[in-house]
Chain A
Amino acid sequence: MNLDYSVVFAKIPILLEGCWVTLQISFFALLLGMVFGIAGALCRISSNKVLNSGAFFYVWVIRGTPVMVQLFILYFGLPQLGIRLPSMVAGVLGLAINTGAYITEIIRAGIQAVDRGQMEAALSLGMSYRQAMRRIIGPQAVKFCIPPLVNQFIMTLKNSSIASLVTITELFRTGEQIIYTTFRSFEVYTAVAVFYLIMNSVFMVIADKLERRMARQ
């Protein structure tokens, strides 16, 4: 055994920069993914056939293809059609489209888990569909959505490592670059893994607190 973690310690500042980029990608991908997911879910439960089948198609295609292929289409494929996205845009957008499909399903299931009588009661009082969704159904659906959403957020943070393949220097790619110069694969990859674990753990703790507070209400 000739493990030497001093190499890793020396590179901690650079690895932290990689973490920061990873967090940024994940944050914006999730933010945008939530927008796609909420819109997708509302379309999925809509009685409008076009919206409904559009959202179904979106979820079907995205869930049925690898996220890496989706990202490559955006970054390496689109330029052939004259659309050249900066790597950061392609990375965030690709991850957002991907996670948005899963979030669509999570939110749709959450909304449908709310008792049907709630919508009927709201409508019978004269509320519009929108008012009922926002004031009555939405707040109750949130409770059902949080656990699977936490899961999805964690998946997205881990999937963000794929952004390294479209030349974004996030945590994983930072690690690879360190390996090019130090040849310390084992030490660096395990360090990278630990950093992912730490980021996700912080997030899990926050999510757990949130869930507990929601359960109390």
Chain B
Amino acid sequence: MSCIVEMKHVFKSFGAVEVLKDFNLQLTEGEKVVIIGPSGSGKSTVLRCINRLETIQAGTICFEGQEINDQSNLCALRTHIGMVFQRFNLFPHKTTLENIMEAPLIVKKMSPAEAEKIAVELLARVGLADKRDSYPRELSGGQQQRVAIARALAMNPKIMLFDEPTSALDPELVGEVLGVMKDLAREGMTMVVVTHEMAFAREVADRVIFMDQGIIMEEGTPAKIFEAPTQERTQIFLKRIRH
């Protein structure tokens, strides 16, 4: 198995606030990693460093062996890395279909017919074939998030990053989004998911990472982290989210 993302000795700060301190992470192709940890521990920052929405102060991040600090092909790099946001961030002035077609058209310069074909297929895949002409505001949160996943998949990424994809959803809508993500996992996609949905982590994750204050406190299989955490901080955190 080859390494797809490698973060080595990464330091990231916002002004005086140190968010990542000597952070190290290796992701293998096809691997599913779930990141948990208290708010403000730097989980989003890790994801945002991988597709370089944030620039780091020190260390290296490699994508398929290539150092990503090489600015010149940033857009090309990002086409390989899909990202799904907590607040969906669909384009409100575009229909569902247009949201998905936009990047293939503009970035990949696909023909409209080709882009539409991909978009229609993806919409069917996330179970929203009948919503192709709806605007985001006409969809429920769960539907919006599924469209957002389809939009990211339209670029045919090699890895998908999910930043708390279900935290902004009403509880009854969480399942439909996790369902789509599980399908994706079954198909072999490399995934990094920040989430506190433990049942999902247990079912899908190869590895669970507990982050605290900008470092990896503890990591291991879901069974190990959830049933037998060795670090006191992990234990406290798990106790808190179980209520």
> Which residues from 145 to 173 on chain B have a C-beta closer than 8 Å to any C-beta of chain A?
148, 151-152, 155
Report chain A residues within 8 Å CB of B78: 123-126
Report chain A residues within 8 Å CB of B102: 125, 135-136
- Best-buried of A117, A121, A126, A127 by chain B (most CB within 10 Å): A126
Report chain A residues within 8 Å CB of B108: 126
Do residues A125 and B107 form an inter-chain contact, with CB atoms below 8 A?
yes
Do residues A139 and B93 form an inter-chain contact, with CB atoms below 8 A?
yes
**Contacts A125-B155, A217-B93; A120 near B53 (Cβ below 8 A):** yes
Chain B's interface size range is 20 to 34
C-alpha spacing A114/B83, complex, angstroms = 20
Within 8 Å of chain A (Cβ to Cβ): is B51?
yes
Within 8 Å of chain B (Cβ to Cβ): is A140?
yes
In angstroms, how far is the closest chain A Cβ from the Cβ of B157?
9
Report chain A residues within 8 Å CB of B106: 127, 131, 135
Do residues A121 and B79 form an inter-chain contact, with CB atoms below 8 A?
no
Within 8 Å of chain A (Cβ to Cβ): is B75?
yes
**Contacts A123-B78, A124-B78, A126-B103; A140 near B85 (Cβ below 8 A):** no
C-alpha spacing A125/B83, complex, angstroms = 8
Chain A 111-123 per-residue mask, 1 if CB under 8 angstroms from chain B, else 0: 0000101101111
Do residues A126 and B155 form an inter-chain contact, with CB atoms below 8 A?
yes
Within 8 Å of chain B (Cβ to Cβ): is A128?
yes
Report chain B residues within 8 Å CB of A140: 92-93
Interfacial residues, chain A to chain B (CB-CB below 8 A)? 115, 117-118, 120-128, 131, 135-136, 139-140, 217
